[in-house]
Amino acid sequence: MNNNLKLLKIYRQSMKTLKASAFFLLALLTSNTATALSDDFKQQASINADNQYIDLAKNIAVYKGNVTIKQGSIEITADRLEVYNHGEHGVELMVLIGRPARFSQRVGDGNNISAQAKEIRFERGTNIIKLNRSAQLTWGKNVVKGDTISYDMVRQLLNADRNANKKDQVTTILQPNESKN
């Protein structure tokens, strides 16, 4: 019976972690979270992986191998998801690792927003989300590419950089507004 209570606690913690993680990833992609489909965060969240490891004493959850997360229109894929919780404060650090790790969501205007990088990282203490190594941020048909892209959620600042060891520059592609007749 004690094991069942422990498993229930693990499940609840995982769901709380997923919801917080999805919210923070969404903040990366849009400064106005009201444009997101509000039903997404009210829907059931599903995490699938080849392996799941949760350390309740350390408040760490690690999902490995073909990680997929689905909640409403939110879809996340990665090779590995690491979530570090600290008591009442919730998620302190979340790291998605992949070739690449991907996040996408349909927003209120019907467009999709997405991010991809070999590593997507959120640190609560800094309120900064970082896309590291081969980073790409897309909203609608507009795209920003760089080796790293960081977004400061408090100051609403986006910074994209190139890899100092490579010649590639940061690329931004902006599509013209479509006029409706």
Joined tokens for residue 65: 């191998």
- Segment holding 40, helix H or strand E: none
User: What is the pLDDT, as a whole number, of residue 40?
Assistant: 74
- What's the CATH number for 2-173? 2.60.450.10
Return the percentage of the chain with pLDDT > 90, whole number: 30
Joined tokens for residue 141: 């048909």
Q: Name the residue among 146, 160, 150, 171 with its Cα closest to residue 28.
A: 150
User: What is the pLDDT, as a whole number, of residue 20?
Assistant: 46
* pLDDT top residue among 129 and 51: 51
Q: What confidence tens digit (pLDDT) does each residue in 136-166 have?
A: 998 888 899 999 999 877 787 889 999 888 7
Least confident of 23-32, 58-67, 146-155: 23-32
* pLDDT top residue among 2 and 138: 138
Res. 41: pLDDT tops 60: yes
When pLDDT is cut at 50, 70 and 90, the band that residue 14 belongs to is: low
Q: What does the pLDDT average to over 174-180?
A: 74
Let me know: does 46 contact 69? Beta carbons within 8 Å. Answer: yes
User: What is the pLDDT, as a whole number, of residue 6?
Assistant: 56
Q: What does the pLDDT average to over 38-46?
A: 75
Count, residues in the chain: 181
CA-CA distance, 33 to 139, in Å (whole number)? 14
User: What is the pLDDT, as a whole number, of residue 8?
Assistant: 54
Return the percentage of the chain with pLDDT > 70, whole number: 73
Q: What is the widest separation between alpha-carbon atoms in the chain? A: 65
- For 78, the 3-state DSSP assignment is strand
Res. 176: pLDDT tops 90: no
CA-CA distance, 76 to 25, in Å (whole number)? 10
Q: What confidence tens digit (pLDDT) does each residue in 84-142 have?
A: 887 666 667 889 999 999 988 887 777 788 899 999 998 777 878 899 999 999 888 88
